[in-house]
């Protein structure tokens, strides 16, 4: 009985292929699979964005909205609302 108990303890905790190591590896595999799913969704989303940006009108709209680009004869006014501006604690 003692030998069986020692064997079980050895296999569960001390061996290089122990149950604890297998559990850690299974958790790591699960995290990697979740990351893979996330990045696949991001790739699909980026491919849709690239497809829409191939249109020159959409590209111009994107540049204006994201990078505040403008034409030479235009003026741009950025309107910030009070709730969207971060407040500095020293000035309050």
Give the best-scoring range by mean pLDDT among 5-9, 11-15, 34-38, 81-85: 34-38
pLDDT tens-digit series, residues 52-89: 989 888 888 888 888 878 888 888 777 888 887 676 65
Q: Quick one: CA dihedral 39, 41, 47, 52, positive or negative?
A: negative
* CB-based burial, 65-75: b 16+ in 10 Å, e otherwise: eeeeeeeeeee
pLDDT tens-digit series, residues 21-40: 889 999 999 999 999 999 99
Q: What is the pLDDT of residue 26?
A: 94
């Amino acid at each position: 009985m003692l030998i069986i108990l020692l064997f079980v303890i050895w296999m569960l905790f001390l061996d290089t292929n122990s149950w604890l190591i297998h559990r850690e590896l299974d958790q790591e595999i699960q995290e990697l699979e979740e990351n893979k799913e996330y990045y696949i969704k991001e790739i699909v989303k980026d491919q849709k964005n690239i497809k829409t940006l191939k249109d020159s009108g959409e590209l111009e709209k994107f540049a204006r909205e994201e990078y505040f680009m403008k034409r030479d004869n235009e003026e741009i006014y950025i309107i910030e609302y009070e709730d969207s501006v971060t407040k500095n604690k020293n000035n309050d």
